[in-house]
Amino acid sequence: MIDHDGIYNPNDFNDRVLLGFKGTWSHTELHGMRLRLQGAKLNKAKKGLLRCTPPTGYIYDGEGQLVFDPDESVVAAIGLVKEAVSGTGNSLQGDAIFCHP
Q: How far is CA 84 from the centre of its chain?
A: 28
Q: What is the pLDDT of residues 2-29, one digit of tens each?
A: 888 889 998 999 999 999 999 899 999 9
Residue 86 confidence (pLDDT) above 90: no
Q: With contact defined as beta carbons under 8 Å apart, do 73 and 81 qualify?
A: no
Whether the pLDDT of residue 30 is over 60: the answer is yes
**pLDDT band at 82, cuts 50/70/90?**
confident
- Between vectors from CA 85 to CA 82 and to CA 91, what angle results, nearest 5°? 115
List pLDDT tens digits, range 32-72. 999 999 999 999 999 988 888 888 888 888 888 888 888 88
pTM summary value:
0.49
